[in-house]
Structure 1
Amino acid sequence: MNVAIIGTGRMGAAMAVRLRESGADVVVWNRTRDKAEATGCAVAQTAREAVAEAGTVLVSLADDAAVHAAYDGPDGVAAGLREGTVVVESSTVDPETVRRLEPLVTGRGAVLLDGPVSGSTALVEKGQLTFMVGGPAEGVERARPALDLLARQVFHVGDLGSGAVVKLAVNTVVLALNQALAESLVLAERAGVPRETTYEVLANSAIGSAFVSYKRAAFERPDEAPVAFSIDLVAKDLDLVRQLAARVGARMPQADTNLGVASAAVAAALGDRDMSAIAAYLRTRSGEL
């Protein structure tokens, strides 16, 4: 199995390592070479070189601008594709971004899928991600051997762009839950109940969930928490939700409010902190509420 990984940030790097350790031949490319080298995989000089021999390409980048830049140009992903390659765009981007990329990929005889994921790097390491895939069914089946090494579930959710839509819908809930956890903990703390006590109750209540369990250490001990998903990416994703909602005529009052809080936290220099640091932002602002 020959797989190329374009982008070795937290998720891309974890996917590369998981695939390599599962026996796949993996070539990676990243704009910052030392991040690519840290995966222990073969490192290409360009995105074009990385995908040249790949049967499956997984792209995992931070935002729409980075995705566009990676595909286009003489050294981009599209330039190196061969006929029959399946490209899985796993970045969280606007559905229209994926659709605009399709001619670049199909013009080379390759297939484009949008397959964003739900899950943490810890779930990558266990092969328990969830993929939400849009695009032709035949392409999904051809990519499945690689995806099955990474995922517990692979949902084919519709035509190209549908995966991005469902991912934004999922993140609307996840980011709302993150906001609600932050607010509830700050409320209880200011009323004299330790955050650990409150979290124990929350984790064992009707809202107990995989997310609540996974984020427990980050909320209880924020100064020790590694960054799993930064607040600037929270704001980026909620802005994508806002843009999609405006196009389709959906009212999203809670998402709009959460975007305002995340944007304010970024403006307060917390953008590179883990999403759980929304609570830290609220603690600093509570005296003004």
Structure 2
Amino acid sequence: MKVAIIGVGRMGAGMAVRLRETGTEVVVWNRTPAKAAATGCAVAGTAREAVAAADVVLVSLADDAAVRSAYDGPDGVAAGLREGVVVVESSTIDPETVRGVEPLVTGRGATLLDGPVSGSIALVEKGQLTFMVGGPAEGVDRVRPVLDLLARQVFHVGALGSGAIVKLSINTVVLGLNQALAEALVLAERAGVPRETTYEVFANSAIGSAFVSYKRAAFERPDEVPVAFSLDLVAKDLDLVRQLAARVGARMPQAEANLGVATAAVAAALGDRDMSGVATYLRTLSGEL
């Protein structure tokens, strides 16, 4: 199968490189051409050009506005689609956004799935992501040969939009864990226990988990570890959670509190820091840097 990837941020670039290394023919497009070239894949000048010969299109963009913009217009994704193509929208966005662009895709005889992912860049490099996919089962079956190169697990979770809903639910938990971990670590530091000592206990206690292990270096050495997921995206995702909760009538006091902290951290010029930067923000409130 020929694959087009629209958007090569951290996750999109990781998927492009992984597919290229498995021998898949990949064409990429990104608003910043230099990022596209860095993947080592063929680079298209427009989204329309990228998808023109593709069997599968993977879209991985930062936010809802970028997604809407990428699909529409004479040089957009929809304009280049052929009948029978499957588009997998893997961005973390509002389920209403993916439903909103569906007519642009189906109007070209193609199929749209929402398939956001759970997992780190290290996991995409190993082909061990988790996809949660919403949309027609027939479309999921057709795209599995590509997703199986990227993922350890592919879940078909329901109709279009269901993937986005499950992803926001997962991120609610992940970002809650991140907030709790940051608060607990700073508490111990302020009380005189070195963060490395505290984290060693965390990792080997009842709270030890894949997340605690994965984020260890970022929490212990925040100025040395590359950003995996930035605080501005944390705030964006928690705001999407807030909007979804308001629409369906779900009360989410912890998510609301976490959104307040993330928004304040971004306002304090920490938006480009890793999500573990919540601890850095809490230290500034305590008078420490």
Same-fold call, TM > 0.5? yes
Spell out, residue by residue over 1:188-246, the C-alpha distance to the aligned partner (whole angstroms, 9 max, x if none): 00000011111111111122111111100000001101000000000000000000000
Spell out, residue by residue over 1:140-175, the C-alpha distance to the aligned partner (whole angstroms, 9 max, x if none): 011101100000000000000000000000000000
Which residue identity does 2:162 align to in structure 1? S
Partner of 1:110: 110
Partner of 2:183: 183
CA distance in 1, matches of 2:81, 2:96: 21
SS at match of 2:286: helix
Which residue identity does 2:265 align to in structure 1? A
SS at match of 1:224: coil
Which residue identity does 1:175 align to in structure 2? L
Spell out, residue by residue over 1:39-91, the C-alpha distance to the aligned partner (whole angstroms, 9 max, x if none): 00000000000001111000000000000000000000000000000000000
Which residue identity does 1:70 align to in structure 2? A
Partner of 1:275: 275
Which residue identity does 2:80 align to in structure 1? G
- Unpaired stretches in structure 2, ≥5 consecutive residues: none
1:60-75 counterparts in 2 under 5 A?
60-75=60-75
Which residue identity does 1:183 align to in structure 2? E
1:100-179 counterparts in 2 under 5 A?
100-179=100-179
CA distance in 2, matches of 1:156, 1:88: 12
CA distance in 2, matches of 1:40, 1:137: 32
Count of paired positions: 288
Shift of 1:287: 4.7
What RMSD in Å do the two structures reach over aligned CA positions? 0.8
Matched-pair identity in % = 86
Shift of 1:10: 0.5
In the superposition, the TM-score normalised over structure 2's length comes to 0.99
CA distance in 1, matches of 2:237, 2:205: 28
Spell out, residue by residue over 1:107-126, the C-alpha distance to the aligned partner (whole angstroms, 9 max, x if none): 00000000000011110000
SS at match of 1:133: strand
- Range 108-117 or range 198-207, more displaced: 198-207
Which residue identity does 2:18 align to in structure 1? R
Which residue identity does 2:200 align to in structure 1? E
Which residue identity does 1:12 align to in structure 2? G
1:89 aligns with 2:117: no
1:169-248 counterparts in 2 under 5 A?
169-248=169-248
Shift of 1:286: 2.1
Partner of 2:78: 78
In the superposition, the TM-score normalised over structure 1's length comes to 0.99
- Unpaired stretches in structure 1, ≥5 consecutive residues: none
CA distance in 1, matches of 2:240, 2:206: 29
Shift of 1:98: 0.4
CA distance in 1, matches of 2:137, 2:45: 32
Partner of 2:32: 32
CA distance in 1, matches of 2:208, 2:83: 47
CA distance in 2, matches of 1:134, 1:207: 32
CA distance in 2, matches of 1:286, 1:97: 39
Which residue identity does 1:177 align to in structure 2? L
1:251-270 counterparts in 2 under 5 A?
251-270=251-270
Which residue identity does 1:19 align to in structure 2? L
